[in-house]
Amino acid sequence: MTPLQYLSPSSRVTRFACTILFTAVLAACGGNDDDTPEGDAVVLKADRKPFPLVEATIEGFHAAMRTGDVSCRDVVQGYLARIAAFDADASTAYPDSPALHSVIATNPDALAKADELDRTFFKTGKMVGPMHCVTVLAKDNFDTYDMKTTAGSLALKNNQPPDDAYVIKKIRDAGGIIIGKANMDEFAFGFTGSSSVGGKTKNAYIPANSAGGSSSGTGTSIATNLAMIGLGSDTGGSVRVPSAVEGLYGLRPTLRLVSQDGIVPLAHGQDTAGPLCRQVQDCALVMDAMAGYDSATGSGQRNAKAWDAPLVGSAAAYASMTMQPATYMTSLSATGLKGARIGVVRGMFPTANANNQAFIDTLNAALEAMKAAGATVEDVDISDRTTILTGYSSLSTYEFRDNLTEYLSSWSSAADAHLRTTEEVATALETLEPDRVANFKSYVTAGTNKEANANYLRNLKPRDEYVIPRVTAALDNIDFTTSQSKGMAYDVLVYPVLQGFNSTSVNSGSNNRLSPFTGFPALAFPAGFVKSKDTSTSVEPVTFEMIGRAFAEPTLFKLAYGWQKTTTARVPSPLAPELGAK
């Protein structure tokens, strides 16, 4: 990859004497009022062709910018046009819209930000950061100072946070543009992909099928190329499940790697945020921005943490704990599978039958391809696996009540009149969403006096003490009962995200619990696409998940990139072709 030149934040050009013109004369636009030495201007071609957005990558986009074949405005305008054409209900302008309902709102300032970035780039030849003009759709539980954050609920329609979530600010500082907010399961409850604000999100491959959840809108919007990158949150499977049904790469990072500041919570003891991408390298690049020490002046470190983990006291302590590389991009290797050791947890595969044989065949074919690429692939099991996956429960049932109140009370309601407690939200839902209030109130009840709830307490320290050593033993290839080595350790364990093909209700099973119950990172990646039995023209994805040790994101990216270079697994969504294509 060709290195890019970046402007430091202090040297970004913010004021200019002339109006931007998206022609070759743009490069001559003056008015730089700082003292930063300028590089070579880039000339934007007047006769440039529309930049193709279907399956676009950050690397390809930036390369086209450097040759003057595309501007930031071109790309932002293009994605906004795609959202209008494919996401909204059918209209006179777009009578054939599939009405995906994956985007709740678009950013009214997106084009102005694009113009600002163009002025900088075409004058100086430098990008403001590695995410220069990378369009991002953030799940609507990430705070954005310039757009409301509703978590999909009418009860939070007034929620206007005064500042960005930590990760949103870092992405903007790296040059990214938050082009809009993605639909989601309301309050991140479940995998149905439906909210009162955004409606029900459709699947990008078979519209009647589930879009997964709770990051449903993020998954569908990225699979249909409505932005370059998507952001989701994952408490029990909410990044990996939509990635699975949309054929994407989706990372649930190690707990405590990514700050939870400014993200509407479900359970602080399990919550984290991660990217959903069409290409591994794009996920690695956005993770460079998302990870980092959140000093959170006045309130201590606010990185995601396990239920009893102490707050991280300094940037040095964070660096020591996470072992974060200078950039995750250095993890990528086209031969990343060569020499890798992969443990396949066959017990987490579905039982073969006539309905899922093609699903299992696709998984097995992918494993054979990994072997051919130089990986050692061996069957393993996790001691007491059934108890791990079905004998414990998520913390979300118990922690949501207190965590939501903490979030809502973190800024004044003087300006936006937002509700400030979970109980106030429950009262508002009685009128606004009577069909959803009972489910919401069940979380309120379960979270009241949770410290006296025996089941909640069992899913704290006892769960950690049971689950983590057994999963670690499987990774280390050690017999958990005898502590005897069974051979060389594995880099990752691999198993399917889902328990079979997707349908109107996602078949998520319990495999997604392994990562949140350990706090270890897990990456969903497409094993392949098969022809759907539901229609003669559509395909549907089959998706693996790989889990590694704590803070092993570089290993996950290395192996996934090696897989990506080995396969042509990903197939574009048939619902959202290139605009203007015949």
Residue 492: strand pairing partners: 342
Distance from the Cα of residue 562 to its chain's centroid? 20
Residue 378: strand pairing partners: 343
Please pick, among 153, 214, 221, 396, the residue that the annotation labels catalytic. 214
Separation between Cα atoms, residue 214 and residue 217, nearest integer Å: 8
> Among candidates 492, 468, 494, which has minimal Cα distance to 480?
468
Give the dihedral sign, CA 58/302/399/196: negative
Separation between Cα atoms, residue 131 and residue 286, nearest integer Å: 7
Per DSSP, 81 falls in state: H
CA distances from 250 to 6, 202, 277, 381, 553 (A): 27, 18, 6, 24, 12
> Among candidates 526, 533, 540, which has minimal Cα distance to 569?
526
What are the φ/ψ torsions at residue 511 (nearest 5 degrees)?
-60, -30
Please pick, among 123, 139, 148, 441, the residue that the annotation labels catalytic. 139
The answer to whether 167 and 142 are in contact (CB under 8 A) is yes
The answer to whether 493 and 380 are in contact (CB under 8 A) is yes
Q: Would residue 533 show up in a list of annotated catalytic residues for this protein?
A: no
Please pick, among 153, 238, 243, 394, the residue that the annotation labels catalytic. 238
Strand 539-547 versus strand 522-531 pairing type: antiparallel
**How many CB atoms are closer than 10 A to CB 368?**
10
Fill in the amino acid letter for 206.
I
Active site residues per annotation: 139, 214, 238
